[in-house]
Amino acid sequence: MKAIVIHAARDLRVEDSAVKAPGHGEVEIRLAAGGICGSDLHYYNHGGFGTVRLREPMILGHEVSGHVAALGEGVPGLAVGDLVAVSPSRPCGACDYCLKGLANHCTDMRFYGSAMPFPHIQGAFRERLVVKASQCVKADGLSAGEAAMAEPLAVTLHATRRAGEMLGKRVLVTGCGPIGVLSILSARRAGAVEIVAADLSQRALGFARTAGADRTIDLGDDPDGLVPYGRDKGSFDVLYECSGAEPALVAGLQALRPRGVVVQLGLGSEMALPMMMITARELELRGSFRFHEEFATAVRLMQGGLIDVKPLITHTLPLADARTAFEIASDKSRSMKTQIAFS
């Protein structure tokens, strides 16, 4: 069995890896598609992000789908050949946070492809993957590529829950990579009445318009493009900050109305915030990290034709060309979502 393994920054290899037979309550998956995420690119290009660094070789990947190849004992509802989206969220189910319904904050989370703990949590980019049956959501009617998009879509569904009531709200999205564009789709589905998207790239903003943004602002050409929205104490009810960049966050904060809500999805370096403005406008800053139960909802929304992720999938390359796929995914002028075809 082949797997995509990162050894250090820019040292990506397709290597042999062992596969075990599925045990009780487990399923063996023949992987079909895997999407390259921003965190995968951090490991590939920089060997990690922030204080999280590679300390041993690690299989990458957590946005995956595949076909059921074998069933362990005690697995109802699945059959060999079924296409499933595989959730990378594997909480312990027993810690205080899991018991309080905060599974995404599990103290013993086993999230695929993470160098946060040591030994690292090996990822899902491998031809055969043994998972818990509870991680599998049947994806009938979807392509393998669409099913693999359930993970990033679930991220934005969780963020939308964190934002609170969305019906009739005016929304600003800063950063129009895959998470930003999926945030547009999620906010609209939840009832947002107006969505404005801002980015430094006209190409990215084109995807935002395709996803339904009412207006786009190219901050590369017009760095003050959000300034008019800050007049009279702001215009927007909700900000999805998806870039992880301090200038984007500050500009977005200035465009929020009093008691507006900021949902921070973008991961980057630490940021300095205009605390006096946050205080005076009574703004709410809410983090949003991963997801859990939203994963199945993401699949259902795609199956029902309520959210269409197909326009975001710009490249699909075979496993043998994994390094090329990572190079393309790293080039934002070319790629929105690059996927790897495993079968």
Quick: pLDDT tens for 278-321: 999 999 999 999 999 999 999 999 999 999 999 999 999 999 99
- As to burial, measured by CB atoms within 10 angstroms (0-12 exposed, 13-18 middle, 19+ buried), residue 285 is middle
φ, ψ for residue 237 (rounded to 5)?
-90, -35
Rounded CA-CA distance 237/181 in Å is 18
pLDDT value at residue 19: 86
Q: Which superfamily is assigned to 155-287 in CATH? A: NAD(P)-binding Rossmann-like Domain (3.40.50.720)
User: Hey, where are the domains in the chain?
Assistant: 2-149+309-341, 155-287
Which one-letter amino acid corresponds to residue 101? G
Q: What angle do CA 27, 99, 113 make, to 5 degrees?
A: 45
The SS3 call for residue 54 is coil
pLDDT value at residue 334: 93
Those residues of the chain that have pLDDT short of 50 are: none
pLDDT value at residue 78: 97
CA dihedral in degrees (100, 103, 107, 111; nearest 10)?
180
Tokens at residue 190, please?
């939840």
pLDDT value at residue 9: 96
Among 263, 335, 39, 302, which Cα is nearest to 153's? Answer: 302
CATH topology of domain 2-149+309-341: Quinone Oxidoreductase; Chain A, domain 1 (3.90.180)
pLDDT value at residue 269: 75
pLDDT value at residue 50: 82
pLDDT value at residue 343: 85
The pTM of this model reads 0.95
- As to burial, measured by CB atoms within 10 angstroms (0-12 exposed, 13-18 middle, 19+ buried), residue 161 is middle
Which one-letter amino acid corresponds to residue 42? H
Rounded CA-CA distance 263/256 in Å is 12
